[in-house]
Structure 1
Amino acid sequence: MTIKDPLADEGDSTEENCPICLSPFRDKKSLNCKHEFCKRCLQKAEENYGPICPVCRKVFGIIQGDQPDGRMTWTRSSGQVPGFSNCGIITIIYSIPDGRQTEKHPKPGHCYTGTTKTAYIPGNKEGNEVLKLLKKAFDQKLIFTIMASNITGFKTRVTWNDIHHKTSLYGGPDSYGYPDPTYLSRVKEELKAKGIE
Structure 2
Amino acid sequence: STKYKTCRTKLYLITGDSDKDETCSICLERVTKKKQLPCGHEFCEKCLTKLVETTKPICPVCRDVFGIVNGNQPNGRMSSHMTHSSLPGFPDCNTIVIKYDIPSGKQTVNHPNPGRPYPSTERTAYLPNNREGQEVLSLLKKAFDQRLIFTVGVSRTSGKNDQVTWNDIHHKTSITGGPTNFGYPDPHYLSRVKEELKAKGIK
Pairwise same-fold verdict (TM > 0.5): yes
Distance 2:106 2:68 in 1: 25
Give, in angstroms, the shift of residue 183 of structure 1.
Answer: 0.4
2:95 aligned residue: 89
State which structure, 1 or 2, has the greater radius of gyration over its C-alpha atoms: 1
Residues 29-108 of structure 1: pairs in structure 2 closer than 5 A: 29-108=35-114
Work out the number of aligned pairs and report it: 184
Q: Judge which range, 142-151 or 96-105, deviates more.
A: 142-151
Cα 1:45–1:118 change in 2 (3 A) is: same
Q: Structure 2 counterpart of 1:74, which letter? A: S
Q: Give TM-score scaled by structure 1 length.
A: 0.89
Q: Which consecutive unaligned segments of at least 5 residues does structure 1 have?
A: 1-13
Runs of 4+ in 1 over 6 A off after TM superposition: none
Q: Measure, in 2, the Cα distance between the counterparts of 1:147 and 1:161.
A: 10
Counterpart amino acid of 1:42?
L
| Corresponding residue number in structure 1 for 2:199 | 193
| Residue type of the alignment partner of 2:72 | D
Deviations 1:23-44 (A, max 9, x none): 1122221111111111221123
RMSD: 1.5
**Partner residue of 2:152 out of 140, 146, 154:** 146
Alpha-carbon spacing, 1:175–1:40, altered in 2? closer, same or farther (3 Å):
same
Deviation at residue 107 of structure 1 after TM alignment: 1.3
Q: Distance in 2 between matches of 1:177 and 1:80?
A: 13
- Where do 5+ consecutive residues of structure 2 fail to align? 1-19
